[in-house]
């Protein structure tokens, strides 16, 4: 079962801020989150039923730091399309 703790961040980049004007929120989550799970979280915690949800899986990059190889964590990004009249007050920039 998906939970609000699976949402890692709401992305505030130049592209995501332009999308927010059109009612689309970009959310970064853990890789185990599903579309239906994210819809349920938005309904339960924000009281908004998303129109649709698009997902994108991002594999972590392998990086070197002082000769030691490490890997950034895998994550998922979701594009959540909200109805026109729906606003989330805590996300206002």
Q: Give per-residue pLDDT as tens, 50-59.
A: 999 999 999 9
Beta-sheet pairing, 7-10 with 24-29: antiparallel
Residue pair 74/29 in contact by the 8 Å Cβ criterion: no
Q: Give per-residue pLDDT as tens, 25-34.
A: 999 999 999 9
Residue pair 81/26 in contact by the 8 Å Cβ criterion: no
Sorted by where each begins, the domain ranges of the chain are: 4-85
The CATH number fitting domain 4-85, selected from 3.90.226.10, 3.10.20.30, 3.90.180.10, 3.30.70.330: 3.30.70.330
Distance CA 82, CA 50 (A): 5
Residue pair 28/76 in contact by the 8 Å Cβ criterion: yes
Does pTM top 0.85 for this prediction?
no
């Amino acid at each position: 079962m998906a939970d609000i703790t699976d949402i890692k961040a709401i992305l505030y980049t130049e592209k995501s801020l332009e999308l927010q004007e059109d009612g689309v929120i970009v959310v970064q989550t853990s890789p185990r989150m599903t579309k239906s799970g994210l819809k349920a979280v938005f309904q339960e915690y924000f009281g908004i039923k998303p129109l649709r949800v698009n997902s994108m899986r991002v594999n972590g990059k392998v990086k070197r730091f002082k000769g030691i190889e490490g890997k950034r964590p895998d994550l998922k990004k979701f594009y959540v399309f909200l109805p026109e009249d729906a606003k989330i007050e805590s996300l206002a920039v």
